[in-house]
Each structure stands twice: as C-alpha cells, then as structure tokens.
Amino acid sequence: MRTAEKRSEPAVADTVEMKLEVIVIPVSDVDRAKRFYGELGWRLDIDYVNGDDYRVVQFTPSGSGCSIIFGKNVTTATPGSMRGLHLVVSDIRAACGELTRRGIEVSEPFHDAGGIFHHASTKGMVNGPNPQRKSYASYASFSDPDGNGWVFQEVTARLTGHIEPGDNSFTPELTNVVRRAEVTRHLELSWMNDALDRQRAGRL
C-alpha cells in the first residue's frame, strides 16, 4: 500500500502545548487594586513584598486557569493602559448582576451587529445581548480603578475549529468563518503531506 493510502487524515506537525498562565496588569496604587480585585471575589494567591521597590500581587478569577499579577516594578506599562481583557461567563446577565451586587460598575450587555467580535469603538454595537444568545456573541464591560478594561463574553458552547452540520450554537457569520478556515487548514495540510510524499519518493 502506498504511503498516501495509509493515511486517513492529513498529518499534523507536533506542537508544544502552551497555556496562558499570567497577565500582568499595570496599576498606580497596589493596595487600591488589591481591594478592587478582592471585591470581585477573585482568589488572592500571593502578596509578596521585598523592600520598598518590589511587590507582587497575584489574583485568579473564579474558575480560571489564568491569573493576573500587579504590583510594584513588575511592568513598565502605563497604569490603566490594558484593554480588552476578556472573561468568559456562561450567563452575561447573571455576571453583570453579580458585579452590581458587589458595588462594581458594569455596562449593560451588548452585542456586535457583525456577529464575529465586538469593535474597539462603539461601531456596530447594539444594546442588549445577542437576541438568540449565540455563544461568543454577547458582552459587557467594566474597568478597574486605573482604567484597565475588562470584558465579559458569554460562551455557552466552545469553538474547536470544527462546527458540525446543524449546530446552531454560534452566529451565522462566525459559523461561516470557522468553516472556511477549516477547509483552508485541511487544504494546507494536504499540500504539506503531498510535498512530504514527493520528498520521500525522491529518496527511494
């Protein structure tokens, strides 16, 4: 049997697993930031001080595998300059209600008219969650005392790079983009496999 016939799926190159671990947040007042993130209900992991010019505070959001760090001399970024930090929630209205009960100001839910991802500005922004509550399509925003910007994103079904026929969990726009990307990915992998087969055949 030829090499091409033995392979039912295109070969995928080995990749090193990479997981997002920490995001460093620039703040001007460490104690104030510590109070804010504590009021969010996030877990305080460490508050390490070494002298007068070094401090590391780490919090982990509820249910998250990624943490945040802020402190003194942990980043040269301007305090309040972080934007678009997304927190996945299963119910956008419940998440907003939780922040409101904790005394933290949060926007009303909104969605983007384009159906893919929200714009950086108010362009395409429509008040209220996605009418069909499609996964990845509803948002709400809030900021810490320095102005670092956070966004809730409602996710009820995960994208895996493949969407089954009849799966209506996502907006039509997002579904079309993901399916086109999958086709392109398979074509590229097939081309790579064909090139490898030709290389092997040339060595025989």
Mean pLDDT of 167-190: 85
Task: Single out the residue of 117, 107, 110, 94 nearest to residue 141, CA to CA.
Answer: 107
Indicate the pLDDT class of residue 102, thresholds 50, 70 and 90: very high
Domain residue ranges in the chain: 19-162
CA distance 137 to 113: 9
Residues in the chain: 204
**Which alpha helices (DSSP H) does 40-159 contain, by range?**
92-101
DSSP string, 125-178: EEESS-TT--TT--EEEEE-TT--EEEEEE-SS---S---TT--SS-HHHHHHH
The 3-state DSSP class for residue 202 equals helix
State which fold the 19-162 domain adopts: 2,3-Dihydroxybiphenyl 1,2-Dioxygenase; domain 1 (3.10.180)
What is the band of 10 on the pLDDT scale with cuts at 50, 70, 90?
very low
Q: By percentage, how much of the chain surpasses pLDDT 70?
A: 92
Q: What is the pLDDT of residue 31?
A: 98
Higher pLDDT, 21 or 187: 21
| pLDDT tens column, 20-62 | 999 999 999 999 999 999 999 999 999 999 999 999 999 999 9
Instruction: List the 110-112 sheet strands across, edge first.
Output: 85-89, 149-154, 139-143, 110-112, 125-127
